[in-house]
Amino acid sequence: MNASPITATLLVSCSDQKGLVARLTDFVFRNNGNILHSDEHIDEEAGLFLMRIEWDLKDFAFAREQIRGAFEPLASELSLDWELRFSDEDRRGAIFVSKFDHCLYDLLFRHRAGELRADFSLVVSNHPDLRGLVEYFDIDYQVFPVTPESKPAQEAAILAELERRRIEFIVLARYMQILSPDFVAHYPRRIINIHHSFLPAFAGPKPYHQAHRRGVKLVGATSHYVTAELDAGPIIAQDVVRVSHRDSVEDLIRKGRDLEKVVLAQAVRLHLENRVLVYGNKTVIFD
Amino acid sequence: MNASPITATLLVSCSDQKGLVARLTDFVFRNNGNILHSDEHIDEEAGLFLMRIEWDLKDFAFAREQIRGAFEPLASELSLDWELRFSDEDRRGAIFVSKFDHCLYDLLFRHRAGELRADFSLVVSNHPDLRGLVEYFDIDYQVFPVTPESKPAQEAAILAELERRRIEFIVLARYMQILSPDFVAHYPRRIINIHHSFLPAFAGPKPYHQAHRRGVKLVGATSHYVTAELDAGPIIAQDVVRVSHRDSVEDLIRKGRDLEKVVLAQAVRLHLENRVLVYGNKTVIFD
Amino acid sequence: MNASPITATLLVSCSDQKGLVARLTDFVFRNNGNILHSDEHIDEEAGLFLMRIEWDLKDFAFAREQIRGAFEPLASELSLDWELRFSDEDRRGAIFVSKFDHCLYDLLFRHRAGELRADFSLVVSNHPDLRGLVEYFDIDYQVFPVTPESKPAQEAAILAELERRRIEFIVLARYMQILSPDFVAHYPRRIINIHHSFLPAFAGPKPYHQAHRRGVKLVGATSHYVTAELDAGPIIAQDVVRVSHRDSVEDLIRKGRDLEKVVLAQAVRLHLENRVLVYGNKTVIFD
Amino acid sequence: MNASPITATLLVSCSDQKGLVARLTDFVFRNNGNILHSDEHIDEEAGLFLMRIEWDLKDFAFAREQIRGAFEPLASELSLDWELRFSDEDRRGAIFVSKFDHCLYDLLFRHRAGELRADFSLVVSNHPDLRGLVEYFDIDYQVFPVTPESKPAQEAAILAELERRRIEFIVLARYMQILSPDFVAHYPRRIINIHHSFLPAFAGPKPYHQAHRRGVKLVGATSHYVTAELDAGPIIAQDVVRVSHRDSVEDLIRKGRDLEKVVLAQAVRLHLENRVLVYGNKTVIFD
């Protein structure tokens, strides 16, 4: 097998019942697919079954445009929520930034290094500051300044631009504006934010200052899907780093930058590899 | 130099001013003491200077009972808050428990292994369950059942027992009763608690259930000094462990036990080695 | 579903071929079993397929003593290496120790806390020192002193005792004797050791001294299956802790004790829950 | 006190003797300097005393060019090895790379973000590949292709260029050539390398492949000063990240990149802030 076979990935959730693993893997097997990874999770409290199956498309009985149709009858019978993705389809994404550049540059370099299966064609910002390197990388940089008054109009303008480009997902790489619930509703479970604390500790503004004031011995970063409620969406990835009384707020900010980059990139990668299933306000990470 | 010289440790805090490090270390040098460790911290916001000096008592100009008197004039001149400790004086401690035994046993074994410079003569509990092994270790186990009605009387009885034994510090090793502010006031900065979350996240009851519900990807433990406000005292030590959607609440509890043991033991050891200085609601850890 | 259903766990390895996941899960489904967890791994280099399936025995078509027979035809057809275990069968284990007690006590307490699905009836030692607490826990403690001359005879005596008790697996909880290849051959992949370094760094004796001399900034612990070659068996679990120039060898030893306990206990738990599959000199951990 | 006072930092090592802390801090105090940080370490085995003192230059009795002369008599009397640095003097550095770009770009961005007190005017490479972004950042990029035959001449050419620019320290940011002992002797304790393993495990070439073959559960990165012996110099910083059987060699390489960036940047920062003291083959890190 070569290094990168082209694969299909099926993400499934439904109420738990007997035989789901067997019947879903049988669909692949019966149609001559070779399963590379399969993983499932049962949430007993919620009575929910969640599964991810990835198989090699080589020799599969159906062409990729036929797979959905072929799977539909089984999906109906089992009342599945499901999603099908192909490994060679880069998803169209936009990155939103303000003035902090570390997460933006980190994503751009990872993208260039082939770590992220995405097609980033647009950076949206409320400030002009970060245009330079973005354009050096041949990515469009558009500025939408936001004031309390202009916010509804600007969000509408951003949405129009995103739709024009058929953007599928958004990364908030330290974007310092709060998106309206209406905006968020256009991209359910498809806006990934990085919050610079170990949520639910220190939600809201200036978490490093809050952490310094409280005297914690670790600071964290949390990447989550954006929902209507601020900093309360389903968590995708988290990590922490050790700090001490010797660290000023500036040191926390510096140490935190490294965390934010790694945690956000991890969440984006998991999202793009179809390894995240949201249920309720939580996530299953098939890693 | 042999493995364990007998040392004196001076903990100092005062408002910042020039020359403090030089003048304090000069006190030791002038009197023929050999400094083994010195460490200081300046909190610029608070304008506060904090220092720890540890020196070998061998050949020191003063006998240990004279040192306080010899240091007093300098301390007055510089308006110091200060504390002097000797490494061979085990401090008298009591451990409070309820029904969870892991932190208790962990402390008893570390104590037996010589990790903790303490003399634990008493375990206080509101339940009789854990008597067995404590008495196997020749430590007294006293039960003070607590109800809302009996609490004031029982706290008074516990305090009397602690005073009778001249207990200097208390470790709450998963003691499931909230101590009254009045009780706490008898042991300021000398009651060490373990809370089974990464504070300030998930303060209050059942933090592992809260963490499971929120879907965090790490769970933590926090050891802190007890103050009148629940779970809000100065933090001494914290750590986290990675969890996933595969972990049930029971798994979080199991993983958390290991964290709780290590974090509490670390805090107790730091306290006993005079490495913790509290200022405001924060700590300096001289490690 | 109640908290602890009785489950069967099937561990399988074979050369990779299409349809394995489907056919194996179908065996469970067809016989009315409810799969709780399934996980597989393909080692592409080795062309190897490895899988773990755990299902609820409630309502399963076969009584547990019939399952092996019912599965045999499929196993033959697919040329499987396989193993079947039941969650309510505690495995008979022996713990080997010398003079360090921390890993021993840690295992005994975890066992008592219900963390380990094992029946520990015997502690073997080359020294009498740790008899006390072991017997307090109602576990037999047998001393087999070992000299270079007596080693073959003592190993034979130990083996006889293990066989008499039908011991299935052995935990070396800081046992300071090297077992002969002949002894090891009696318990292939069933002797779990803890080595107090991050293998392959610092194999052999006195790893903390080696680490201190090299000036590393982290020290580790490694739990592995014992093979004929010293410290070279398949790794089950590893972890590290941060150290600095301030840490003496004694500090490394103290910090290392906490690591050793956690890493060894984790490996034993994974082994007992049938989450470890060895292939070549490596392990797959189904966690 | 404002955010960034201009400071002097004194790094000292000598054989241990009484009064060193007092006499050294007294030099600063007597001359009206305000000590911001002081930290010392005694290596008892080696009988060595090591200290770092940082003080605010504001109001100090001596102008910076006079401090060395003023300190010399005390240094002679105490037979000190010592070094004096000023916080506003950026050190001239060169970065060496081959074809992997992640460490290079990471350093360039940190430098731009003000994290590193250095003046990087030159990137040296044995390949032309990474010229683009380096020149975008207005840094010279010079290619010195190396073959076994041309190596002595090319090293001489590189040395000449470094001397012309008065380069003080070198960062090997995944430079895939082994520097000759003669080259290394020109920059003792001033060449910082990143090795992509947890040294001393997996020294030499292709450490991720070695790690994958051994089946370790963590992979690491180590930053160290380069000495004549390959991968054996004094360690400045190390860290690890968790891996599993699911990770291919490519995954280890990807995860390792994040480690390498953070560990190398940490070592460079410690070096530039004069927080590293080498003694024997080890380091003291004054952090």
Q: pLDDT tens digit string along D113-172?
A: 999 999 999 999 999 999 998 999 999 999 999 999 999 999 999 999 999 999 999 999
Mean pLDDT of A123-143: 96
Q: Which percentage of chain A shows pLDDT scores above 70? A: 99
CA D150 to chain centre: 28
d(CA C251, CA D260): 27
Q: Which amino acid is located at A190 in the chain?
A: R
| pLDDT at position A3 | 60
Pairwise CB contact (< 8 Å): D22 & B26: yes
| pLDDT at position C243 | 96
CA B231 to chain centre: 15
Structure tokens at B151: 């609490």
d(CA A278, CA D172): 43
Question: What phi, psi does D186 have (nearest 5°)?
Answer: -75, -20
Q: Which residue of C has its CA nearest to A4?
A: C44
Cβ neighbour number for residue A149 with a 10 Å cutoff: 8
Question: What phi, psi does C94 have (nearest 5°)?
Answer: -125, 145
Q: Using one digit for the tens of pLDDT, what is the confidence trace for A38-96?
A: 999 999 888 999 999 999 999 999 999 999 999 999 999 999 999 999 999 999 999 99
Pairwise CB contact (< 8 Å): D29 & B44: no
Q: Which residue of B has its CA nearest to C256?
A: B262
| pLDDT at position B1 | 39
Query: Which residue bears the tokens 């962990």?
Result: B106
Q: Using one digit for the tens of pLDDT, what is the confidence trace for B233-272?
A: 999 999 999 999 999 999 999 999 999 999 999 999 999 9
Structure tokens at C55: 């299902």
Interface probe with C: pick from A17, A21, A52, most Cβ of C within 10 Å: A21
| pLDDT at position C3 | 60
d(CA D77, CA D99): 50
Compute the CA torsion angle D280, B54, C207, C171 (nearest 10 deg).
-170
d(CA B208, CA B250): 9
Q: Cis check for the bond before D200: say yes or no (omega within 30 of 0).
A: yes
Give which of C8, C184, C30, C10 is closest to C81, Cα–Cα. Answer: C10
Q: Which residue of B has its CA nearest to C258?
A: B262
Residues 198-257 (A) with a CB less than 8 A from some CB of B = 198-202, 214-218, 220, 234-235, 237-240, 244-246
Q: What is the DSSP letter of B167?
A: -
Under DSSP, is residue B122 helix (H, G, I), strand (E, B) or coil? strand
Q: Can you give the residue ranges of every domain in chain A?
A: 7-86, 91-285
Fold classification of D91-285 is Rossmann fold (3.40.50)
Which of A215, A238, A246 has the CB atom closest to B217's CB atom?
A238
Q: CA D91, D97, D103 angle in degrees (round to 5)?
A: 75
Catalytic residue selected from D101, D106, D231, D247 = D231
Mean pLDDT of B100-115: 94
Query: Which residues on chain C are in Cβ contact (under 8 Å) with B3?
Result: 250
Which of A102, A133, A258 has the CB atom closest to D262's CB atom?
A258
- Radius of gyration over every alpha carbon of chain C, rounded to an integer in angstroms: 21
| pLDDT at position A273 | 95
Q: Chains near A, with 3+ CB pairs < 8 A?
A: B, C, D
d(CA B80, CA C167): 64
Q: Which residues contact A271 (CB under 8 A, 6 or more apart)?
A: A169, A192, A236
Q: Using one digit for the tens of pLDDT, what is the confidence trace for A11-26?
A: 999 999 989 999 999 9
Q: Phi/psi zone of residue C202: left (φ > 0), alpha (ψ -120 to 50 degrees), beta?
A: left
Q: Using one digit for the tens of pLDDT, what is the confidence trace for D192-218?
A: 999 999 999 999 999 999 999 999 999
Structure tokens at C269: 């738990």
Quick check: C236 pLDDT over 50? yes
Which of C28, C42, C242 has the CB atom closest to A22's CB atom?
C28
Which of B22, B26, B34 has the CB atom closest to D28's CB atom?
B22
Burial of B110 (0-12, 13-18, 19+ CB in 10 A): buried
Per-residue pLDDT band for D287 (boundaries 50, 70, 90) equals confident
Q: Chains near C, with 3+ CB pairs < 8 A?
A: A, B, D
Under DSSP, is residue D176 helix (H, G, I), strand (E, B) or coil? coil
Mean pLDDT of the residues in chain A: 95
Q: What is the DSSP letter of B28?
A: H
Fold classification of D7-86 is Alpha-Beta Plaits (3.30.70)
Q: Establish, for the pair of chains A and B, how many residue pairs have beta carbons separated by less than 8 Å.
A: 79
HSE of D146 in the Cβ direction (CA atoms, 13 Å)?
Answer: 21
Query: Which residue bears the tokens 């510090």?
Result: B169
Mean pLDDT of the residues in chain C: 95
Pairwise CB contact (< 8 Å): A240 & B240: yes
| pLDDT at position D4 | 80
Helices (H) and strands (E) in chain A, counts: 8, 13
Q: Chains near B, with 3+ CB pairs < 8 A?
A: A, C, D
CA B230 to chain centre: 17
Query: Which residues on chain B are in Cβ contact (under 8 Å) with D33?
Result: 18
Q: Establish, for the pair of chains A and D, how many residue pairs have beta carbons separated by less than 8 Å.
A: 24
Query: Which residues on chain A are in Cβ contact (under 8 Å) with C42?
Result: 36
Q: Establish, for the pair of chains C and D, how many residue pairs have beta carbons separated by less than 8 Å.
A: 79
Catalytic residue selected from C101, C106, C231, C247 = C231
Q: Chains near D, with 3+ CB pairs < 8 A?
A: A, B, C
Pairwise CB contact (< 8 Å): C199 & D199: no
Q: Which residues pair with A172 in a beta bridge?
A: A96, A193
Compute the CA torsion angle A162, A165, A169, A174 (nearest 10 deg).
-60
Q: Which percentage of chain C shows pLDDT scores above 70? A: 99
Q: Using one digit for the tens of pLDDT, what is the confidence trace for A235-253?
A: 999 999 999 999 999 999 9
Question: Is B119 touching D (CB cutoff 8 A)?
Answer: no
Burial of D65 (0-12, 13-18, 19+ CB in 10 A): exposed
Asked if A52 and A28 count as a contact pair (C-beta separation under 8 A), the reply is no
| pLDDT at position B216 | 97
Catalytic residue selected from A90, A231, A239, A258 = A231
Give which of D150, B212, C91 is closest to A45, Cα–Cα. Answer: B212
Which of A199, A215, A281 has the CB atom closest to B235's CB atom?
A215
Residues 14-73 (D) with a CB less than 8 A from some CB of B = 18-23, 25-26, 28-30, 32-40, 42, 44
d(CA D119, CA D171): 12
Asked if C286 and C39 count as a contact pair (C-beta separation under 8 A), the reply is yes
Q: Which residues contact C121 (CB under 8 A, 6 or more apart)?
A: C92, C94, C139, C140, C165, C167
Asked if C183 and C235 count as a contact pair (C-beta separation under 8 A), the reply is no
Query: Which residues on chain A are in Cβ contact (under 8 Å) with B264?
Result: none
Q: Which residues contact A135 (CB under 8 A, 6 or more apart)?
A: A141
Give which of D192, D179, D262, D178 is closest to D220, Cα–Cα. Answer: D262
Pairwise CB contact (< 8 Å): B240 & A234: no
Asked if B133 and B151 count as a contact pair (C-beta separation under 8 A), the reply is no
ipTM reported for the complex, 2 dp? 0.93
Cβ neighbour number for residue C17 with a 10 Å cutoff: 12
Mean pLDDT of C45-59: 94
Quick check: D250 pLDDT over 50? yes
Pairing of strands C169-172, C91-97: parallel
D218 to chain C, minimum CA–CA distance in Å?
A: 7
Quick check: D1 pLDDT over 70? no
3-state secondary structure chain C: CCCCCCEEEEEEEEECCCCHHHHHHHHHHHCCCEEEEEEEEEECCCCEEEEEEEEECCCCCCCHHHHHHHHHHHHHHHCCEEEEEECCCCEEEEEEECCCCHHHHHHHHHHHCCCCCEEEEEEEECCCCCHHHHHHCCCEEEECCCCCCCHHHHHHHHHHHHHHCCCCEEEECCCCCCCCHHHHHHCCCCEEEEECCCCCCCCCCCHHHHHHHHCCCEEEEEEEECCCCCCCCCEEEEEEEECCCCCCHHHHHHHHHHHHHHHHHHHHHHHHCCCEEEECCEEEECC
Per-residue pLDDT band for D280 (boundaries 50, 70, 90) equals confident
Mean pLDDT of the residues in chain B: 95
Q: Using one digit for the tens of pLDDT, what is the confidence trace for C124-180?
A: 999 999 999 899 999 999 999 999 999 999 999 999 999 999 999 999 999 999 999
Structure tokens at C64: 């547990």
d(CA D128, CA D145): 9
Q: Is A129 part of the annotated catalytic residue set?
A: no
Per-residue pLDDT band for C274 (boundaries 50, 70, 90) equals very high
Structure tokens at B215: 């879907």
Quick check: B118 pLDDT over 70? yes
